[in-house]
Structure formats: structure tokens, C-alpha cells
Amino acid sequence: MPTPPRTRMLGLVLVGLQGVIFLAVGVTALLDGPGVEGSMWLGSTLVLLGLLGMFWSGKDLGRALTPMPTPNGAGLAAGGIYSYVRHPMYAGILVIAFGMAIGSGKLWTLVSAVVLLVFFDIKTRVEEGYLVRTYPGYEDYAARTGKFVPGVGKRRIR
């Protein structure tokens, strides 16, 4: 079934905002501005771990991988890394963003990373609405699986 134009537009807006906010994380890390105590070693380690998590989640997602918040019909990914967290790709991006904030020691990078966290919390609520309507077992899966961190942010069954 094709995605309705309004739903597609919402998806494009969310993907665009995601890109703009992540770009803000990267740009603010390079600009002069107020600083906090940073650690290049810890920041670099987090960036590498976030990249690893993103690649692992992409591998486990397989054909279901899409930047859009609507399912693409390839099936629900609930195995591999998805058996521990529902949104490991977003978690990886967040680890990268906070790694950049810690590595740069820039206050605005940290603020941008927090904004990205709030954005992903909102985006996942929209995305999970589609997943619940598309996959009958999604609510049970989400009730036992953490959102971004294993065991944390389990969805309440309605």
C-alpha cells in the first residue's frame, strides 16, 4: 500500500530536521564558543562506538532500513541488536553526537546533542505509532525492549 502524501511529507520533514540538528552538532564542534571540560580520548571512543552501533543496527535491519519513520514493508526487525533496543540506529547517532560534544568540549555542541536526543524521542513516538498499526506484535516487543538503552524506556501496553 503506498504511503499517503501527507504521511510522506511528515516523514521528509522529520528526516530533514534530523539532518539539520545533527549538522548543528558537527558545526558547533568546530566553532569557537563557550567551552566545558572536554576529553578528546573519551569523545573519540564514543564516536567510534556510535559508528559501530550504527553499522551493526543497519546490518540487523537489512532490507527494512529506511530513513523514513514509516515501515517500508520489509518486516519487523526484532532480532540481533534489535532484541536489546528498539532504536539502535538513533542510539548510535546519539552516542556519536555526545562523543563530539565531549571531544570538542563545546557547550553549544552539548546543547545540540541534547536537542537531538529530544528530537529522537519525539520522532520515535511518531515512528512507533506506524509500527504498532503495521505489525501486530510490535506493542509486546516494545513493552519488553528498551528504547535507546537496553531495559530503559520500555513502551507501556495500552
3-state secondary structure 18-67: HHHHHHHHHHHHHCCCCECCCCHHHHHHHHHHHHHHHHHHHHHHHHHCCC
Top-confidence residue, 5 or 95: 95
**Whether residue 54 has pLDDT greater than 70:** yes
How many whole angstroms separate alpha carbon 67 and alpha carbon 79? 19
pLDDT in tens, 20-50: 999 999 999 998 888 777 789 999 999 999 9
Domain containing 110 equals 5-66+73-144
Assigned domain for 45 exists = yes
Q: What is the pLDDT of residue 81?
A: 95
**Whether residue 73 has pLDDT greater than 90:** no
Assigned domain for 157 exists = no
Assigned domain for 152 exists = no
- Band the pLDDT of 158: cuts 50, 70, 90: low
Q: What is the pLDDT of residue 32?
A: 86
DSSP 4: P
Assigned domain for 158 exists = no
Mean pLDDT of 111-139: 95
- Band the pLDDT of 120: cuts 50, 70, 90: very high
Q: What is the pLDDT of residue 2?
A: 65
Assigned domain for 156 exists = no
Assigned domain for 119 exists = yes
| Domain count within the chain | 1
How many whole angstroms separate alpha carbon 20 and alpha carbon 101? 16
**Whether residue 1 has pLDDT greater than 60:** no
Assigned domain for 94 exists = yes
Top-confidence residue, 33 or 72: 72
Report the percentage of the chain scoring pLDDT > 70.
98
